[in-house]
Structure 1
Amino acid sequence: MNFIKKNCIILFSFLVLAAALLIAAESDFENLQTAKNIAVYEGLVIKRIDVTGEVRLTKDQIINSFPIKAGSKFQRTEINEAIKKLFDTQLFDRVAIDANREDEGVVLNIVVAERYIIKNIEYIGNKRLSRTALNDAIKPIMRTGDPYIPQKLNEAVNAIITNYQDKGYLKAYVEPKVIENNESSDVTIEMNIVEGNEVKVSSIRFHGNTHFSANELKRQMSTKENGFMALGKFNEFKFEDDKTKVVKYYADRGYYRAKVDNVKFTYQWRDPQIKNEQDLIIDIYITEGDKYYFGDIGFKGNFIISSENIQKDIKSKKGALYNYTYHMTDYQGIQNKYSERGYIFRQVIPVITVNEENKIVNIMYDIVENDKAHIENITIAGNTKTKDFVIQRYIDIKPGEVFNTAKIQRIQERLYNTQFFDNINLGVKPGSAEGLMELTLNVSEGKTAMVSGGGGYSTGSGFKVFASIKENNFLGRGLQLGLSGELGETQKRIAVNFAEPYLLNLPIYLGVDLSYFNEGVNTGYEIGTDSFGIPKYSYYTRHGFEGIVRLGYYFADYYSTFITFDTIVQQYQQWHDQGASAAGPNYVLSDIKKYLVHRINKKDGSFQRWQSDWFTTFIISYSLLRDSRNDYLNPTKGSFLRGIADFYFGHTQLTRLNLTGFLAVPATEWLSFAFYGELGQIIATPGLPIQNDADVLYYLNPFEDVRGWDTSKYTIFKKNRGLSTYDMKAEDGSTDSWSYGRAKVRFFAELRVPIIPKTLGFVTFFDAGQLWMPGSTGWNQDGDAHTYPSQFMDIKDIFDPSQYIYSVGVGIRLTIPIFNVRFYIAKRFVYNKNDVGFGKGLQDFEGDTFTPLGAWFGRGWGIAFTMNHPFY
């Protein structure tokens, strides 16, 4: 196209200009004493550091940015690294060092040639796209205030053209002009834009396709026809990729010789009289060929890794239909096997022979192993706030080690999970000798201090407002400091926390949390309705203070272990508006009720609340964790496995065991599956009976854990099946049941589809869960008993599908580091084990009625809305 020719001319012109600037810069360095053997200065004390060539920057600014200071010893390797560090700021076109002896020491002279600064970027001729849109398009490449780098100008031009093409202006082109101001050392860049007419793809036609329909092939392409569901945008680079996708679609189904022979573009005016918009018709001519099959798959030249070891991961199988994706996966897999062992200079050459008569594709992988590569040096650049030693904590490969691609990939994941950086680029370049490689790490820092606040509604805690101040990288040393507060209908909390993730720069975590809490605990018993007709439930309040000290240790690649010391000083209360009466507390768990012995009256003598004494509970927790998720907020691959044992002493006396696991599996480039499982059990601490377990009983939040259920229906489900519940007594002697438990199993599976990567996504899900009261049959009435049975859940119950509640549905996930919102539409159902056959046991819950959604969907449909719930 014409704009490509014009851009080639522009690119050539700027290469000539860049060469001229480089020659001019070289002249500034002609007087450097590069011919000297600076080894004679090795070990001498650096007396003074001077600067030559500064224009816009001051000498002090340059010296302060130079890692080596006066008083240190002259060491060539450190000086080379310091030069690189200064150059990586991109403020200088050239940086060099001149050295001279002085008084048994040495004087360093930093010789610099500063880059011009971009004073302004102007756009001329843009009518369809605003200045803001164009600035956004080139912002990742250059912006006002950046050093001017000629090589980036063409990238910016291409970004603008691509932006126009995405909007349908296929013939747009840009002619840039750079205006230099030598006095102020800055440049003004003019982007002269010729937009052309809007062009949209009106039709994509395939020719020669007999095995797959045109619609099937169109679905493989990102280029779409203009219509209701697509805007018909055309991008030349994306279309080239589309041709590859179509050929790959054939090749994955055995058509080894399939190809796109020709493409014809036809432009026509949408309205020949107005001539302001054009349609593009694309004709794609295909040769399909015959189906081919895999023949022999072999290996030669491999001595370090055996053929058997390679073969076990090969997806291509003799006799199977040829599949291009399998072929490339095998090819990449062999390379990865060697790269992970340090053989990055290996060569894997697939030698393909085709038997045309029998349509057989034989592949022999010719492997040249070469020697191992080693890391010579690791350089860090781009960090202005975060200290180098903080970044180095997450780099678990050191100079001298074997080059390991898996470890290097893990470095990037670990740094992203700190949430310190917006972008992390890992580069590799040859070192000073054959077999040595230099690893370069260039980071772009993001905002680590967050001030947030808001309000909303949670099905678990009603209406609430919250505020938080958090710094995840305090003083650039990776320290975490936070202050948060929450005020809601049933929850109030203020907390301050501090953490040093790497104590003494060792893999040791130290964290301290201090908080005051006031929490209303819903018993689930309905005691009336408010003025709006919304049900009111019986509550009790627990309020007090909590102090936590956490000590952790990181080891291996993904493992960590923690021990936590937790002290809770709390008091129970039940107020007159929470269900209590002057005669006594009402409809609360027996473990709580027996402590509510102090009646508190108002000033006029009328009843106000019942309350307990203050109680102290000590908790020692031990946990072991393996976490390989690529993102802790929105993981698309990796796993999480954690086992926790909580030992309670004092007012509450028991042991609480929990095992949780999570797995994310990428399905495609965009889609991913997520699986979560949780297993919990309360037992007695050896030698001690269980005491006062109400504070730590498991609770299956039906709004969030099994989405779409509500508390009343869950309790009905348990009663109908004879499953044990936790009974509560009223002052009149009557009882009501509530579904707490001393054992818990919960599971979910999700298909996640991103809308805005890492922030907003669509999800479909399947949930299952249940609670048990081991040691009980039928309803479990604890009464005023002080101790309770200690027994594990019956294993056969875990595998009985009729004991679980289930839901399926769809929803939206909004994930921001300190603000998560989930909105779901869910269908409740149960399993009847008396039915047999696939799907026959699944049916509507017998206690369901038609919900408001039922008018459209049927029985058992509900809405679940949650905020700040810790879904993975």
Structure 2
Amino acid sequence: MQTKTKNILFFWQSERGVLQKDVLDTDVDRLTVFYHNHGYMDAKVGTPKIEKRKDGFYIEIPILEGERYKVASFEVAGDKVEGIEKLQEQWKTKVGKFFSRSKVREDTETLTRFCMDQGYAHAEVQPRIRKNTETHEAYIMLNVKLGPKVTIGRIDIEGNTKTRDKVIRGQLQITEGDTFSATKIENSQMKLKRLDYFEEVSIEPQPGETPEVMNLKIKVKEKLTGSISAGGGFSSDEGLFVGGEIIQRNLFGRGQAMALRAHLGADAQRYSLSFTEPSLFDTYYYLGLDAYNWLREYEDFTKDSQGFQIRTGRFFGNWSRFGVGYTFESARIKDIDENAASIIKEQEGRQIKSSITFSLRRDSTDNAFLPTRGSINRVSVEFASDFLGSDSCFTKYQVISGWYIPLLWKLTGFVKGELGWINKTGDNPIPLFDRFFLGGINSVRSYDWGELGPKDPETGDTIGGTKYGLFTSELIFPIFEEIKLHGVVFFDAGNAFDEGEDLDVSKFKMGIGGGIRWVSPLGPLRIEWAYNPDPDPGDSRSKWQFSMGASF
């Protein structure tokens, strides 16, 4: 095989145009792997012949393909494995399909993990491959040697100078006396990392008193979990601001979280206090309390609100939790401009909101701030009723699903969809701030927060919708991994719709752009620019968005 274009030589040359022999050797190995994964069991890739000419290097790689083999049989032999029929749909190797060495390797790893999850910590699976050179068929056997069934003996923890043992043990999916499971140990390590209390986390198997017993040693290295910060900045939603916060995510080493925040801006003042106990009385139940005082000046009015929330629920399964929350808010709409929309004028004065929210959330991501795999899914229903003392009565539904997908070259794909709708169940109108407003850095980024949605026909003010849809896709890539600096390109589409309107995908507005994300010492920082490919009259062609803090 001889290269026919100069471009392909780029992969084998340094920046100075010098042929890189080690890179060429790697590509030769890849060619061999390619053939062996596409049925050519006898394929041989020879040593490249390199000829230097005036216009560049010419490379000839001799390849002997041989015949292409199909899988004639695929079976498991050796020690009996209980429940192996559960793997039938997971096998990559298929009878009648072309042989693939990588698929055999994947099936070997799948069967090994399956055996280890049943307690056989020392299980060995050896693939045995036989071929018929006349019929060009491959016969594959996975030979299993289980070894003794293992239980967990002691679980020792070291390195936790602050965090209490019970906080760490509360994250484990496996305890002393349980049957060994490689997956449960791996998930336990991931959950400990997601706490973000530790710089390093490892779970190491240790020999027990007998071959049937295995001890585990958990090693952690504590990191700072508290912060006191003050400063200022610029938000694309609120303009210039100053603020400060005191946060402790691991209060007294008990795993509790407390935060006190103050935010003072030209258009907004916010004060809040929150506390969360993630393991109430050492159970799977959690309890949270929040209190706040917010003042926000909008273009046509001001909202002055005070409230509190009580959150409780239960963790279950590996990554899921069910929650119930009660919210009480006293809000006053004031300083209304005489040219404001009628829906704003109708809500002048003080309103009481009293509601209960039920939610179900599953989070299997591998990192709280820069996930590379896993998903976040949430369903919630909020009921506001006069029975609870609420001035307005409504039922509000929301569904969110986002998925992180690891790709080649350390790229991460992200796709997210959202749906929401609200139904009025009383005589009073739905409160303005319980309607749906789109735009901003966590929505359609070619619009500022609150710009996108139904508008008053007389004033042009955005009045929020009673239903909305939103789609987001992102490609995230590392820039400087050492300092956790990443880049992103994205596509957003969505809109909100009023009563009497259908949720019409053809009316979705779009945003296309890119930006940077940095997990800084002060928290996650995002700076992003979005282009609007189809603006309505009066809409901007592009927007800059800025935020500091985690989001989903």
TM-score w.r.t. the length of structure 2 is 0.86
- The residue aligned with 2:282 is 505
Q: CA separation in 1, counterparts of 2:82 and 2:456?
A: 64
Shift of 1:623: 1.3
**1:527-606 maps to which residues of 2 (within 5 A)?**
538-574=299-335, 585-594=337-346, 596=348
**1:381-420 maps to which residues of 2 (within 5 A)?**
381-420=158-197
The answer to whether 1:868 aligns with 2:548 is yes
Gaps of 5+ in 1: 1-208, 265-281, 522-537, 575-579, 597-611, 716-724, 729-733, 777-793, 830-843, 852-859
1:743 and 1:772 in contact (8 A); partners too: yes
Q: 1:441 aligns with which of 190, 199, 218?
A: 218
Q: Structure 1 counterpart of 2:507, which letter?
A: Q
2:369 and 2:524 in contact (8 A); partners too: no
- The residue aligned with 2:244 is 467
Shift of 1:396: 2.1
**1:850-865 maps to which residues of 2 (within 5 A)?**
862-865=542-545
**1:180-195 maps to which residues of 2 (within 5 A)?**
none
The answer to whether 1:708 aligns with 2:446 is yes
SS of 2:300's partner is: strand
Q: 1:667 aligns with which of 407, 421, 426?
A: 407
**1:611-650 maps to which residues of 2 (within 5 A)?**
612=349, 614-649=350-385, 650=390
Q: How many aligned positions are there?
A: 538
How far does the alpha carbon of each residue in 1:477-506 deviate from its partner, in whole angstroms, 9 at most, with x for none? Answer: 112122211122222112222222112222
How far does the alpha carbon of each residue in 1:347-401 deviate from its partner, in whole angstroms, 9 at most, with x for none? Answer: 2110012344565443221223344321112111111111111111101211111
Which of the two has greater helix per residue? 1
Shift of 1:746: 0.9
Q: 1:698 aligns with which of 415, 433, 436?
A: 436
SS of 1:389's partner is: helix
The structure with higher relative contact order (CA 8 Å, sep 6+) is 2
Q: Structure 1 counterpart of 2:406, which letter?
A: P
Q: CA separation in 1, counterparts of 2:487 and 2:237?
A: 22
1:257 and 1:288 in contact (8 A); partners too: no
Q: CA separation in 2, counterparts of 1:670 and 1:507?
A: 35
Shift of 1:713: 8.8
Q: CA separation in 2, counterparts of 1:846 and 1:571?
A: 33
How far does the alpha carbon of each residue in 1:782-814 deviate from its partner, in whole angstroms, 9 at most, with x for none? Answer: xxxxxxxxxxxx5xx4xx431222233333233
Q: Structure 2 counterpart of 1:290, which letter?
A: E
1:260 and 1:285 in contact (8 A); partners too: no
- The residue aligned with 1:770 is 495
Q: 2:107 aligns with which of 318, 330, 338?
A: 330
SS of 1:476's partner is: coil
Counterparts in 2 of 1:446 and 1:712: CA distance versus 1, 3 Å: closer
The answer to whether 1:811 aligns with 2:527 is no
SS of 1:334's partner is: helix
The CA RMSD measured in Å over matched residues stands at 3.6
Q: 1:248 aligns with which of 18, 30, 33?
A: 33
1:420 and 1:473 in contact (8 A); partners too: yes
Shift of 1:416: 1.0
1:293 and 1:319 in contact (8 A); partners too: no
Q: 2:396 aligns with which of 640, 643, 656?
A: 656
1:259 and 1:286 in contact (8 A); partners too: no
Q: 2:65 aligns with which of 265, 273, 290?
A: 290
1:554 and 1:561 in contact (8 A); partners too: yes
Q: CA separation in 1, counterparts of 2:327 and 2:99?
A: 60
Counterparts in 2 of 1:689 and 1:338: CA distance versus 1, 3 Å: farther
- The residue aligned with 1:494 is 271
Counterparts in 2 of 1:320 and 1:401: CA distance versus 1, 3 Å: same
- The residue aligned with 1:368 is 145
Q: CA separation in 1, counterparts of 2:351 and 2:545?
A: 35
Shift of 1:769: 0.8
Counterparts in 2 of 1:712 and 1:314: CA distance versus 1, 3 Å: closer
Counterparts in 2 of 1:846 and 1:547: CA distance versus 1, 3 Å: closer
The answer to whether 1:820 aligns with 2:532 is no
2:305 and 2:332 in contact (8 A); partners too: yes
How far does the alpha carbon of each residue in 1:591-628 deviate from its partner, in whole angstroms, 9 at most, with x for none? Answer: 442454xxxxxxxxxxxxxxx3x443223222111221
- The residue aligned with 1:749 is 473
How far does the alpha carbon of each residue in 1:705-760 deviate from its partner, in whole angstroms, 9 at most, with x for none? Answer: 11224689957xxxxxxxxx3427xxxxx543425101111111222222244932
Q: Structure 1 counterpart of 2:71, which letter?
A: G
Q: Structure 1 counterpart of 2:15, which letter?
A: G
Counterparts in 2 of 1:436 and 1:284: CA distance versus 1, 3 Å: farther
- The residue aligned with 1:345 is 122
Shift of 1:410: 0.9
2:159 and 2:219 in contact (8 A); partners too: yes
Q: CA separation in 1, counterparts of 2:330 and 2:181?
A: 50
Q: CA separation in 2, counterparts of 1:560 and 1:683?
A: 26
How far does the alpha carbon of each residue in 1:82-136 deviate from its partner, in whole angstroms, 9 at most, with x for none? Answer: xxxxxxxxxxxxxxxxxxxxxxxxxxxxxxxxxxxxxxxxxxxxxxxxxxxxxxx
Q: CA separation in 1, counterparts of 2:144 and 2:517?
A: 46
Counterparts in 2 of 1:505 and 1:691: CA distance versus 1, 3 Å: same
Counterparts in 2 of 1:315 and 1:656: CA distance versus 1, 3 Å: same
- The residue aligned with 1:93 is none
SS of 2:115's partner is: helix
2:39 and 2:100 in contact (8 A); partners too: yes
Q: Structure 2 counterpart of 1:668, which letter?
A: L
Shift of 1:305: 4.4
Counterparts in 2 of 1:243 and 1:546: CA distance versus 1, 3 Å: farther
2:530 and 2:543 in contact (8 A); partners too: yes
Q: CA separation in 2, counterparts of 1:818 and 1:384?
A: 24
Q: CA separation in 1, counterparts of 2:28 and 2:207?
A: 35
Q: CA separation in 2, counterparts of 1:459 and 1:694?
A: 21
Q: 1:681 aligns with which of 417, 421, 430?
A: 421
Q: CA separation in 2, counterparts of 1:539 and 1:653?
A: 25
- The residue aligned with 2:456 is 727
SS of 2:103's partner is: helix
SS of 2:434's partner is: coil
Q: Structure 2 counterpart of 1:405, which letter?
A: A
SS of 1:342's partner is: coil
1:680 and 1:744 in contact (8 A); partners too: yes
Instruction: Give the share of equivalent positions with the same residue, in percent.
Output: 26
Q: 1:477 aligns with which of 254, 270, 273?
A: 254
